[in-house]
A = this chain, B = another copy of it.
Amino acid sequence: MTIIVDAMGGDNAPLAIVKGALLAAKETDCTIALIGPKERLYELLAQESPEGIPANIITVGASDVITNNEPPVKAIRTKTDSTIVQGLTIVKDGLADAFVSAGSTGALLVGGLLICGRIKGVDRPAICSLYPIVGSVPAVLVDAGANAECKPRNLYEFGLMGSIYVEKVLGRENPRVGLANIGAEAEKGTSLTKKAYELLAGSKLNFVGNVEARDIPEGTCDVIVADGFTGNIILKLTEGMVGRLSKAMASRLPAEMMAAIRSQTDYSEYGGAPILGVEKPIIKMHGSSGPKAVKNAILKAADFVRGDVIRIVKEQIR
């Protein structure tokens, strides 16, 4: 298996990406292909791994970079030698199995659609982010921000794809799927959530009904379904609350407890967020990913490929 890693994406590229690839190389027998300016990458690899570059790390040349500030569609169409366009094309062509990047979310979404293609039957691909539960295993949140405005059918698809991801990649059977809403009863919320509730309740998913925001941090479901606007609010507010409360309490809590809470709630540690609904495995890392987050994302990408998530989504979406 070969994982292409965008060496130039994110705030800490390329050094953190190179370091993360070296960490991952020790824990997997997959080939890790760093894509970017080859000579610079080679120099960094030699510098960070003076004992020799691991045999399962290779470099692939790409001279350009898409930044977060560029309009995604234009960037994908014009920057043909960028790491994202080249990396996705290699995956599309079957020369590699997955693409991992901390670069522009918009460009990854557009590139995923235009280069790799949408899975037939999936109306809107979505970002499936791990959602930290303090003191327990994480849930996933779909959509974490790809689609600010959604139709009811989209939310059903998010539930289906998230459920398959949790089962096949996180190894949890019969995942509980909950719809983020402002009341427990079926008729609560917006016209969107009411119709999505009906679709989810009528599906084969293990739909546990509406989940009120108050209960989300309790881990009452494995898959939190939301439109991308609501999902992004949930994810970012959780991050903000952890930050604020940790700061308030840091001076009074034992260091190891703070570290445990931080590690449980720092979703960058969990290994990136797959874009579900496209024909190939694409994993979006947090823009501020450090070496450990990069390592985890590469390892999780391999789990995603092994879990055969895309084939199963295709089968079940019909």
Contact = CB atoms under 8 A, between A and B. Distances in A.
**Copies of this chain, tallied across the complex:** 2
Q: What class of interface size applies to chain A in its complex with B?
A: 35 or more
A242 B245 contact: yes
A234 B232 contact: no
B213 A236 contact: yes
Contact of A239 (B149, B182, B214, B252): B214
A46 interface: no
A139 to B, nearest CB: 13
B217 A148 contact: no
Contacts of A248: 134-135, 261
B234 A233 contact: yes
A94 interface: no
A290 interface: no
B236 A238 contact: no
B232 A215 contact: no
A253 interface: yes
A240 interface: yes
Given A134-B244, A240-B217, A261-B245, A148 B230 contact: no
B244 A249 contact: no
Contacts of A236: 182, 212-214
A243 B257 contact: no
A261 B244 CA distance: 11
Contacts of A253: 249, 252-253
A119 B133 CA distance: 43
A5 to B, nearest CB: 26
Q: Which 8 A-B pairs have the closest CB atoms?
A: A213-B236, A213-B237, A241-B241, A217-B244, A214-B240, A214-B236, A182-B232, A217-B240
